[in-house]
Structure 1
Amino acid sequence: MTNSQFTPGIAPGRLPQGSYAANFADLSPPLDAHQAQVAADRCYFCHDAPCAEACPTAIDIPLFIRQIMTGTPEAAAKTILGQNILGGMCARVCPTENLCEGACVRETAEGKPVEIGALQRYATDAMMAKQSHPFARGPATGKSVAVVGAGPAGLACAHRLAMKGHEVTVFEARPKAGGLNEYGIASYKAVEQFASREVDWLLQIGGIRVIGNWMLGRAGDGTLVDLLADHDAVFLGMGLSGVNALRLAGEDKTGILPATEFIAELRQAGDLAALPVGREVIVIGGGMTAVDAAVQAKLLGALNVTIVYRRTRAEMPASVYEQELALSKGVRIIENATPVAIHGNGAVREVEFATGEETFRLPADQVFKAIGQRLGPMPEEIRLAGGRIWVDGAGRTSAAGVWAGGDCAVGGEDLTVTAVAEGRDAAEDIHSYLMGV
């Protein structure tokens, strides 16, 4: 937050040192063995499994829960990871209330679903604790694939390709692999460097090389033409690197920055007490990123934090669970309000909003923009649709030998689990293409 560090009102160390560890502790502590057995026992093992139908990666949920019940969590983990190689992180960050748990028969009948996300975490944590990798590389094919972006889509694609025996090189713009999981979610959702540990575990399969600080099209790095010349296929999974602007005069004032930048800096901070935060914080937007930024600003010691969204709360992209989490932490949510002006002399001091025919002002020394992201510059060979990369049902782009998936592609839903599914499925199609199947 380089443009904010010297702004009056924005300061580090607002809380007693011991408060940071407590505030940023694991949001949902893991189940122990007994708790997992009790939770698993609630599953009806439905024949039609609506929970599995609701999972974007089509995990056989009744099967893995039954495996937990029989005391074989590692077998349960293999069932999960065979469909979703980032099942550990998805167990922590998936909006299960809108997906598997929302479809659970127990939820429909009793308003209390089987704790599928917690059980998935229990199983995958058991596997990772053994430092073992359940999958092996296939016989070498002599084919190589370039993957651009080491986020969920790119990592899932790379892992599945390595399983097929291909050599994979992953090119990542940031210093570390992980993408959204490493840089874009609240730290209390994935404590103890879990995102990095999961990447290290995934790479145990072998055959995957990761090159950091490499951006497609940047001078000195490489172009799509270069990648196609050196590899047999290319997968694009770089996510959305641009940030939508408010398009208001004064948007360049000190104290205003993208919520994604704030979250990324917080995730990489060695000492949270050294991270500056304002007293009066406004977050503009209504998605998961807005909630993550708002809650973490409050946990860092901001006095007042307000999320302002242009539509109703029912229309907020953030789930009801996330909204209620924000409210429980003392974040205020104002709906049906649109920013119309930024006030201040050099640094932001107030933001003016309109609601219907009226306007009102909120004091602010720090403003986070969370109104969506956009695709960065793309090679001319790549056709776009609706501001994202056009792909067919198999993830193929308009360029021969090039696939895409995740947030950068049409259909991306800004969810780790969806990105994993798209990367995995593209890898299967790439394999068929390479092997002439």
Structure 2
Amino acid sequence: MKVFAENNYIFNLLSEAVSEGILVVDKDHIIVATNNNADQMFGYDNHELIGQRVDILVPEPHSKNHGQHVDKFFETNKSGKMMVDRLLYGLRKNNEKFPVKIDLYPFVFHGIDYVFALIFDKTEISKRDLQIKELNEHLEKKIKTRTLELRETVAMLQKEIKRRKDAEKTIKLALQRERELSELKTKFLSLVSHEFKTPLSGILTSATLVGKYKEASDQERRDKHLTTIIAEVRHLNSILTDFLSIERLEKGKEIYNFTKFSLSKVVNEVVYNANMLLKNGQQINYPHNIDEVVIYQDEKIVTLILTNLLYNSIKYSPEDSEIDITFEVGQAGMVLKIKDHGIGIPEKDQKHIFERYFRAENALLNQGTGIGLNIIKDHINNLDGKIYFKSKENEGTIFTVELPIDNRILLGLK
């Protein structure tokens, strides 16, 4: 300490030019020199620290072991190397703790070991670090909040986008449906106009000719034209029945009336009416051993199914051909088959044959609405039945209908 006192002027001159605090400590832990910045930093008057143990600048609990650290430092740091960047806490005269960073430089002066300590007051930096930390925490919270808000906004936007896409899809479907309905309406009006015009022209012609045959000898001619009129009227009635069926089926207003009835009665009536439509040489083969067969179903629908399929077979079969009707009746169901040797259905058209208004390519020159098969398929589906076919173009078609019947009703068991 005496050495530094004798050279105090030079030390002060050099140390006061440094903005950080400077302490010089000897091997006995005694402070031998300070600069004004170090005195002010620790709250002491100028040179008040000289002669004091360095421990008084170290807060509890570190001050108890501080001497051991100093001794160890002197023992292990004799190479003149600098020990840098130790972040500690200092203790001011008023017992206030504050953060410091200390760089230590061991040196030897006049054969005596010393430590030169360069002290940085980290209070302001710590405050700034704390502020930065608080700002970062605040920013992180804000980011989390904004992220959550953004996610919610994105979710809302996605829902809105989906809603608008769904609405757009619904509108497109509605527009497409409207166009389809418009096309169907046009097609329907054209179809009705054409289908009604032909039989009405036939009725008008036959009615006019009947009026001209007044003699008794013209009875055969009159009968021929009356038969034509009856057939055309029945054809018109069939078309109207089909159109009314479409409306009822679409609106779900079709009511099925299940009753017990004779199968032969239905077959005979349908075949009798169909005979008026037969072409030259055409023949209908149907079972005659079903007089005792009674089934429980909707008689009107069974008649409609048989009529539609039989009339189609007549229409699309050539002259001098046979049409076969067969029935298989069991306890739980009935199978109807109608086989013809007509023009058949082209393979590429077969998947569309039950679609409304569809007509196969090879049937376009024949009269027809294209709704008969669609109607009976809807009825059969409603009755939990099946309809299917096998067909080959120019060789003929076999339509098969399976309908459930409950013979327990007939036996009084249900």
Band of TM-score, shorter chain: under 0.3
Give the TM-score of the pair, scaled to structure 2: 0.20
Hey, which of these two has a bigger chunk of helix by percent?
2
Question: Greater Rg, structure 1 or structure 2?
Answer: 2
Hey, which of these two has a bigger chunk of strand by percent?
2
Give the TM-score of the pair, scaled to structure 1: 0.20
Does 1 or 2 have the higher relative contact order (CA < 8 Å, sep 6+)? 1
